[in-house]
Structure 1
């Protein structure tokens, strides 16, 4: 039987949460003039300001006690050592090994070198299509972890793109998405990257077959199509059977889960866009966060702190959703990426022993780029009937006009302060009243570049892992995804042209 909620650490937090209900964030700041500086931690080039969370020193001590009770650091060390922390599939979760540089496993270093060779030929124009024309257009085909990471990273680092190659992403099995891309594509100059660990993922394989048929119908009859495909997969045999040349198949491994695989050859499209040296910077940034996570004590450990802040709100204040608000248009895809990372990892209702849990786990994660969200859903954040904890992600240095960037930062700070302190003026009508006491973190990057993006994404990876440790769940499987795939396959055979549900 799951006993987490019966532990002394859990019960102490329940009692403490009730005691804090009688205070406000305004009062907490007034009582401690150093609060804004004291509840601010830096690590691996990032800064976390959690002073606007409704908590005090005792809260942090109790959260640390809960994390220690759940052996978060032991689980971290076992994950880093390659232990089979994915218990239901008897696999390691060694995504950190993908960014260890010269210390990475030989197979990883070989794969990165292979990526580099393929990228160099495509970026230089040496790689040509079947009719001899230079490849100029890359269409990345993947879904879930094979799509969301590359899509986010390419958008985030668009300012570092130094190639004439054009890029598109296709993930949905709905033919509309691929058809729209193909309408603006030149078959002689387009290359498809089919990214699927199993090379049986329905969306990716069906789209790759459709792309192959499109090429065959538009290139001279009998033209070999191998030069228009690269595969990233753990199923080399299936890729060869599809018709992809042996040297155009890059590996992925079962110890790197899809939502943790951007650092692997799944990130080929990013390397094509920014080049191998900058891709190495991206990996190095993640490695810096890995080192911080491995060595910093709880009170200074950014991923651990973020994880327990989430536990505090979900399990002791009833938060059911969490907002991610990047105040940088280049990070507009971050909420979608984190939806998979957090909800697929920790959206579980049984613990590692297979027992039903009697506490909440992952909240629904959502959000949008600032300042756009201010004109759609921030109304609910400020005056809705439920409190939604939020992460503001801010850049000290932006791209382009500094004056407009200062406006972005000012808006982010204003939103965080309004959420925290509210607006209490007896002369105003009730509908102008802001209740305040709504918690948020401020995560600050110096600037958005490959290294800092790597740090940021690794920060969230480790945050998710620590929450899984506290909740005693396996953050590395996704059985809730698998059954739907099986049902769809069986239903497809029964439809037989009848599309009425």
Structure 2
């Protein structure tokens, strides 16, 4: 069966018309040979081998069903926790005074980037019911800015950490709790603290939080896949039950398509197969994702994390064999501004780049002409990348404008775009929570399948941990001014800091 040229599902339309037949055939062949199956995400199959766990983020979507007793129990737990969390969020929003609520949201990585991406997108459709102050970095200026913008008497602190060991989140939580205690008293401050975690025991141990101030996810849900679980509480606070339910509905519709459609005919499967083909068969190192609309302004960081944290591995899923080619580096931005940053590289760099474009068919504002111009830019870039314009065509055009043949020949080579740079065009019918949910689920599934094609585990991220471990040792060395046991390079850096810290 040939590859579909277009796929319509869950309010999205994917166009695969700007890919060569060889790339499509390669994608189909590799997908057909894949031993893993989409339904493995909704049963007790161990997919995260390095941590000996299933991967159950799909089960956290409202409406999801497990395929066996174990996975169904997990789904029941996640949905019950969502209901409890929804009731709590509605209660505190309804009980807020006329000044409303300040939410100090402390998270990092997967406990911040997807939530913030969706918060930004949905905010152009409806106003947030609360003021969100996002704090992810260890930069002291960030936590200061958040606390200075809030008032203790109307504030809640959300500690969003799956492990409840994320260093920057725990440090910022200590600072925020002291600030809140200074403002309303230590006992009352602790009652305004909420933990979102898969490690309820540590939340109790560290902050003494009672069960009704802890909303639980599961260890089987990876951080970058976690916004559908308790970790997405901030979206319920901001937009309410109905909006978040629609977000889940879009994701669930994409899940249904993914699970019930053969991989080589499904939208996530074909996206993954093409990306894998461009990396392995054609040796292209870079993927670009352009999103057309400022509603997507926080989406690039999330997509980069999702893809590169999942696919940046060099060891096989069983931990035995080296993997010589894994996922692409990802650059991403919002069009049209991004066209003025790195699109030059897309069109004329010596090494081609493959591309994905996301655009929304219907405007979410009253400026129809400008929206059509935005879409014209998205389509124009896709057309130029694929079809290009050779030097001969440029020379003829420049000569018609009055240039001499010699000058036109020189100028034509600078202007020539070789084309043949493939792209997948992704249409959203409209900007809505439903369609955003479908888009994020599309990228989640595409990432998982691509990891399977490389033979790696897309659900762990051990490469991040070594730097964290070293950071703890280095911090102790900075405080003690003793670099013993550290590398010579780091010891030299500590010497520089010692000389310039006063």
User: Relative to 1, partners in 2 of residues 1:273 and 1:160: Cα closer, same or farther, differing over 3 Å?
Assistant: farther
Aligned to 2:151: 186
Aligned to 1:96: 58
Number of equivalent positions: 456
* 1:75–1:469 CA contact under 8 A, matched in 2: no
Aligned to 2:250: 285
Deviation at 1:243, TM superposition (A): 3.9
Q: Quote the Cα distance in structure 1 between the aligned partners of 2:450 and 2:201.
A: 37
Which residue of 404, 417, 429 maps to 2:383?
417
* Deviation digits for residues 87-106 of structure 1 (CA, Å, limit 9, x no counterpart): 11100101110114274622
For residue 210 of structure 1, give the secondary structure of its aligned residue in structure 2: helix
Aligned to 1:321: 286
- The correspondence of residues 93-492 of structure 1 with structure 2, limited to 5 A, is 93-101=55-63, 103=65, 105-124=75-94, 126=95, 136-219=101-184, 221=185, 224-241=188-205, 242-400=207-365, 401-424=367-390, 425=393, 426-427=395-396, 428=408, 429=411, 430-492=413-475
Deviation at 1:248, TM superposition (A): 1.6
* 2:269–2:446 CA contact under 8 A, matched in 1: yes
Deviation at 1:497, TM superposition (A): 5.7
* Deviation digits for residues 417-472 of structure 1 (CA, Å, limit 9, x no counterpart): 11111122234412121221111110000011111111101101111111111111
Which residue of 43, 48, 52 maps to 2:18?
52
Aligned to 1:6: none
Which residue of 60, 63, 67 maps to 2:27?
63
Q: Quote the Cα distance in structure 2 between the aligned partners of 1:394 and 1:415.
A: 12
The root-mean-square deviation of aligned C-alpha atoms, in Å, is 2.0
Q: Quote the Cα distance in structure 1 between the aligned partners of 2:263 and 2:160.
A: 37
Deviation at 1:139, TM superposition (A): 1.7
Runs of at least 5 residues in structure 2 that lack an aligned partner in the other structure: 66-71, 397-407, 482-493, 498-502
Which range moved further: 139-148 or 292-301?
292-301
For residue 317 of structure 1, give the secondary structure of its aligned residue in structure 2: coil
User: Relative to 1, partners in 2 of residues 1:136 and 1:318: Cα closer, same or farther, differing over 3 Å?
Assistant: same
Which range moved further: 180-189 or 205-214?
180-189
For residue 157 of structure 1, give the secondary structure of its aligned residue in structure 2: helix
User: Relative to 1, partners in 2 of residues 1:84 and 1:488: Cα closer, same or farther, differing over 3 Å?
Assistant: same
Q: Give the TM-score of the pair, scaled to structure 2.
A: 0.87
For residue 49 of structure 2, give the secondary structure of its aligned residue in structure 1: coil
